[in-house]
Structure 1
Amino acid sequence: MRIIFIPVDERFCTRDYFLLLAETFNIEVVTPPIEMLGRKKIPADIDAIWHWLETETKDDDLLIISLDMILYGGLIPSRISIDSIETIRKRLSKLKNIKQPNNKIYLSATVTRIPAYNYADEEPDYWDYFGVKIYEYSKKIVQFKRGILSAEDLKKAKATLPTWILKDFLWRRERNFNILKLTIKLLSENSIDFLNLVLDDNAPGSLSVFEAERHANYVKKLGVVDRISIHPGADESLLTLLARAMVEHVDYHPKIRIFYSQPEFVDLIPPYEGTPVKESVPVHLETCGATVVPNNEDGLLIVHNPNDRRESEQQVQANESVYQRIVEVLTRREISGICDIAFANGADNKLVESILNPRFDWSKIIYAAWNTAGNTIGTVCSSLVLRILAEKGFITLDLDKLYELNAIFLLEHWGYQANVRKILRDVEAPKRGGDLFTVIPLEGWATKYVKEKLNPFKERIEKTFGRIYDYLDPFFPWHRPFEIGFLRNSEESANGGRK
């Protein structure tokens, strides 16, 4: 059994996280060379990827595929592509030829986001000037459709946008919505085995949430509720499918209890999401193939949930008792996943300081704290499910790889996102010609700077794990300060940082 893997793009967090997780559990993965996958706004070679997929796939493979990649050429191209719906439909129809009697296709797709800021780093160029107004108008569309805004008020909101921008925005959303509807139809026709439909950065009352509700109603109409999941997320969604694919392959559904560090705040909706924590967490687990239970059986999901809507760079520590509760749970030495979502875009420093201790059994722990709550929850849930399958003997565990995976997550999510990034982006980079969206003028210097500043964090991790990670050198996947990746050996360094 092999996994055929088509990532959403070439980033470390979307491609290499998946490969690292598969390596940790000795799962064979075949994936296109990174040169095919494009670069941020530059779309992948879609024809080459389809040719690779058609040539490589065998009858008994498990296929884990990003729809955004095979239709648009990546996540960002799915937002800015000008390909016609007829062109996209033809690409989508080719999935019928890929589907074989004994293979399974697990597909991930995103409901296109509508960010509420005036930056075009990942959006069409006009987002630099009209992003906030587009977002505000899109929410008024929902209010109008729900009967709480008059046609006259909607018309006034529409007048704040140039006609050509509005036309382009609405055309692209309608195209993507209809393509997702066609994909759900393919699911009902058994050309796809499971669809993970995720809501990229969204918010309560957003057009993304409204569209997802319409998709959910269509799913019910077609009777395929048990073969699709609709929830917040994006970059982590293929990790989720890796866990589900393995669960279904071995036919064992791990039983997992959820522990919230701040249960009084489970109704809070995290930043960049439209769903309360208490609703989204069980869905992530179930999408991975797990069963949520009230008592500990196979493993424990520890959710360090937020008590407000802060970013990690403006974090305020919770009450000391919150951290003590997590420490007490970890001393039981169960197989545990730690979803550190107290803050968006990075770790809770106090939590990491509390748990990075050799007295805890890190061979049974998986930790993450990156970007949106959905990104972190999906990453930890999938890793936890696979760790349980290994404990049960269904798959095998490479313990050194598990420690390396945790080291990478801690270095990026704790060391970089919660601490080093802000200083690099806001203080040091502007002195040398960089800004919020690029390190290109100073990338050589920035890489050395980040490595130096991460060293104390790395030493703390190494002391806890009893392992040395001198070969983990940082790089910038999209040549910007938002995220980093790690060159894991000299061969990767010689190839520009990637396999």
Structure 2
Amino acid sequence: MNRKIALIPIDARPVTRELPKQIARIGGWEVLLPDKEKLGFLKKPGNINSLSDWLLKVAPEVDGFVLSTDMLAYGGLVPSRINSDELQVIFKRIELILHLKKIYPEKPIMAFSATMRISNNYVNEEEKEYWEDYGEEIWQYSYHTHRYVRTECEESKGKVEKLSAVIPPDILRDYLQTRERNFQVNLSLLDLVENGTIDVLVFPQDDTSEYGLNIEEQESLTDFVRKRQLSSKVFIYPGADEVANTLISRLIYKLEKVAPPTFFPVYSGETGSHVHAMYEDRPICESVKGQVFAFGSYTVDNANDADIVFAVNVPGKQQGDLALQKFLGEVDTSHRNIGEWVSRVHHYVRKQKLVAIADVAYANGADPAMLPRLLDGVPLSHLCGFGAWNTAGNTIGTVVAQAAMIYLQKEKPSIPFEEVQGNIEEQIVLRLLDDYLYQTIVRQEVRKAVNLETITNETLLQEVAFRFNEEAKVFLEKYSLDYEIKNIYLPWNRTFEIGIRLAKEGAN
């Protein structure tokens, strides 16, 4: 084996491009990536022809492929929502996957294609331009159209009729045509699974709710998967940005020919484990099962049967959102017990179980009531994973992949133990700095201090870097973490996400 995998990510952000590479490195594998410049920038699509050439160029030296069809077909996840190319043009681009399998039939191909999200606001940063005028109305139209189909609710029927009169016909027609085209592309991918071109396919549900045209599409895709008996190869669940991590880890296990580990979930609150996370259509406990199953494994009912204890910090009554500052008072309630949960984590660590932490009490950041208690009670060196970023699915899928790579090295070591330990420690420190220090603390400080409507990109970066470096210095010193910040950057020139270059103190 070459111990290399080629990845076409959904875009060039650190969590989608660099994180899969970092996770694979824990397991002693290398992920080959196209240059960032080829992957576009927010609404600007990636260079599809250049990416195709790159993929064919590196194909001889890799053992398998993980491919974002959104990037190959549209130039990225965001461009997939605004692209206006003809369906036949899109189908022609996807033929690259057929060509790849024809040349390298022995090399597995795992692919993912998001079901197009519906944003419930007037922000058009990642949507078509008309979203700033009709975004919420289109979301309501989608929600009530599907709700009426499912429930025959007369209230929803009336709302659809009113909304149809409010949204200009050309805009509604354009939106529905865009959805239909994306749906047809996803249907065509099922053909590639059925004929053996794609070995595993994921349809991640990007930002979902109980009803919506996206949910209706997912139900249709599920029906097609069942009828064509593809349920062991096609997976549909909430997520998007973390799917490359899931498929990279799954592919590595396939290539290594190692049975995947089992997971025992431990929740900080029983009520919270059944809460529907924001931007998802199911309880958190079901999202955990979905992510573990997509990786290729399953959960078990007790720690003795488990290879990995999967400790999930959940909200008390409702998940909050740290980026939007919503429902913050519903998280740290008497419906959960963080102290008891941390004690259980410590217990399993003492029993020498592999323990990973998925913090989903909030969307878009770590839980400030939990994190200090965890760090005071459990040494980082005793954990095999940590995450708390963006949606619950993003976090859960990432932590499953991290823990799986540690387990792989335990079962079939391919690199020195010190290197494994160093790789996962750096991973966890990066997630703490990003998910906790930046997303939970610094981002809110920056947003309160500056006018985001008028500030320049350069000044915004300076403000973020200054505040972050000050906080990071204190944090790293407090917990005796021997790392230094080499560089801070804003991947999309906005405060939502950050890029961090980290190095061990004293390293070149």
Specify if TM > 0.5: yes
Query: Among residues 450, 457, 460, which one is paired with 1:429 in the alignment?
Result: 450
CA contact (8 A) 2:27 2:409 kept: yes
TM-score by length of 1: 0.92
How far apart in 2 are the matches of 1:244 and 1:487? 27
Q: For residues 408-452 of structure 1, what are the alpha-carbon distances to aligned partners after superposition, in whole Å with 9 as ceiling and x for unaligned?
A: 100011111111111101x11228933xxx845532343223222
Residues 15 and 128 of structure 1: CA distance in aligned 2, closer, same or farther (over 3 Å): same
SS, match of residue 129 in structure 2: coil
Alignment of 1:255-334 (within 5 A): 255-296=262-303, 297-306=306-315, 307-312=317-322, 313=325, 314=328, 316-319=331-334, 321-333=337-349, 334=353
- Distance across 1 between alignment mates of 2:15 and 2:29: 18
Q: Which amino acid aligns with 2:230?
A: V
Name the CA distance, whole Å, in 2 between partners of 1:125 and 1:70: 23
Answer whether contact 1:61 1:104 (CA < 8 A) is retained. yes
Structure 1 runs not aligned, ≥5 long:
491-499
Q: Which moved more, 1:210-219 or 1:357-366?
A: 357-366
Task: Provide the residue aligned with 1:234 in structure 2.
Answer: 240
Q: Any residues of structure 2 matched to 1:175-186 within 5 Å, and which? A: 175-186=181-192
2:477 is matched with which residue? 459
Contact 1:345/1:372 (CA < 8 Å) preserved in 2?
yes
SS in 1 for 2:450: helix
Identify the residue that residue 497 of structure 1 maps to in structure 2: none
Once the two structures are TM-superposed, the CA of residue 37 in structure 1 deviates from its matched residue by 0.9
Residue 142 (structure 2) pairs with residue 138 (structure 1): yes
Other-structure match for 1:72: 74
Following the alignment from structure 1 to structure 2, what is the Cα–Cα distance between the partners of residues 377 and 212?
21
Q: Is the 8 A contact 1:186 1:192 kept in 2?
A: yes
4+ runs of 1 displaced by more than 6 Å? Answer: none
**In structure 2, what residue type is equivalent to 1:57?**
A
The AA in structure 2 aligned to 1:429 is: V
1:489 Cα deviation from its structure 2 partner: 6.0
Q: Is the 8 A contact 1:195 1:227 kept in 2?
A: yes
- Conserved in 1, the CA contact under 8 Å of 2:345 and 2:355? no
- Asked whether the equivalents of residues 89 and 179 of structure 1 are also in contact (C-alpha less than 8 Å), the reply is yes
- Aligned residue for 1:226, secondary structure, equals coil
Shift of 1:206: 2.2
Conserved 8 A contact 1:67-1:109: yes
Structure 1 residues 387 and 163, CA gap change in structure 2 (3 angstroms): same
Is residue 19 of structure 1 aligned with residue 21 of structure 2?
yes
Per-residue displacement from partner, 1:73-97 (whole Å, max 9, x unpaired)? 1111111111111110111122111
**What secondary structure is seen at the aligned counterpart in 1 of 2:385?**
strand
Residue 127 (structure 2) aligns with: 123
Q: CA deviation at 1:204?
A: 1.1
- The one-letter code of the counterpart of 2:170 is W
2:170 equivalent to 1:164? yes
**Counterpart of 1:116 in structure 2: which amino acid?**
N
2:360/2:395 contact within 8 Å kept: yes
CA–CA distance in structure 2, aligned partners of residues 298 and 61 of structure 1: 27
Match of 1:402?
424
Amino acid at match of 2:28: N
Deviation per CA, 1:343-362: give whole Å up to 9, x if none. 11111112111111375362
CA deviations 1:142-185 (Å, max 9, x no partner) are: 02322514566533221110112101110100000110010112
With normalisation by structure 2, the TM-score equals 0.90
Q: 1:51 to 1:271 in 2, by over 3 A?
A: same
Pairing of 1:216-235 with structure 2 (within 5 A): 216-235=222-241
Matches within 5 A, 1:377-388: 377-388=396-407
Q: What are structure 2's unaligned runs of at least 5 residues? A: none
Aligned AA (2:490): F
Cα distance, 1:379 vs structure 2: 0.6
SS in 2 for 1:291: coil
Secondary structure of the structure 1 residue equivalent to 2:43: coil
Counterpart of 2:33 in structure 1: which amino acid?
A: T
Distance 1:372 1:46 in 2: 28
Partner of 2:490: 476
Partners of 1:454 and 1:59 lie apart in 2 by: 39
Deviations 1:446-496 (A, max 9, x none): 3223222333223334x1xxx421134321111100110112469xxxxxx
Partner of 2:215: 209
- Any idea what SS the aligned residue of 2:179 has? helix
CA distance in 2: counterparts of 1:472 and 1:295, whole angstroms: 42
Name 1:495's counterpart in structure 2: none
In structure 2, the residue matched to 1:496 is: none
Structure 2 vs 1, CA of residues 364 and 310 (structure 1 numbering), >3 Å: closer, same or farther? closer
- For 2:442, which of 420, 431, 434 is the aligned residue? 420
Report the secondary structure of 2:484's partner residue: coil
Partners of 2:139 and 2:404 lie apart in 1 by: 37
| Alignment-mate amino acid for residue 450 of structure 1 | F
Note the alpha carbon deviations across 1:50-102, whole angstroms, 9 max, x for none. 11112221286210111111111111111111111111011112211111221
Q: Classify 1:71/1:95 alpha carbon distance in 2 versus 1 (closer, same or farther; 3 Å).
A: same
Deviations 1:351-410 (Å, cap 9, x if unpaired)?
111111375362433111011111111111111111111111254452112111101100
Q: How many residues align?
A: 482
Verify the 8 A CA contact 2:264 2:302 in the aligned structure 1.
yes
Structure 2 residue matching 1:63: 3-state secondary structure: strand
Q: Deviations over 1:37-56 (max 9, x none)?
A: 11111110001101111222
**Aligned counterparts, 1:357-396, within 5 A:** 357=376, 360=379, 362-396=381-415
1:357–1:451 distance in 2 versus 1, CA, 3 Å: same
CA distance in 1, matches of 2:484, 2:82: 39
SS at match of 1:110: coil
SS at match of 2:475: helix
What secondary structure is seen at the aligned counterpart in 2 of 1:273? coil
* 1:95 to 1:264, Cα distance in 2 relative to 1, 3 A: same
Letter in 2 for 1:328: R
Superposition RMSD on alpha carbons, in Å? Answer: 2.1
1:132 to partner: Cα distance: 0.4
- In the aligned structure 2, how far is the partner of 1:403 from the partner of 1:187? 37
**1:487 matches 2:489:** no
Residue equivalent to 2:36: 34
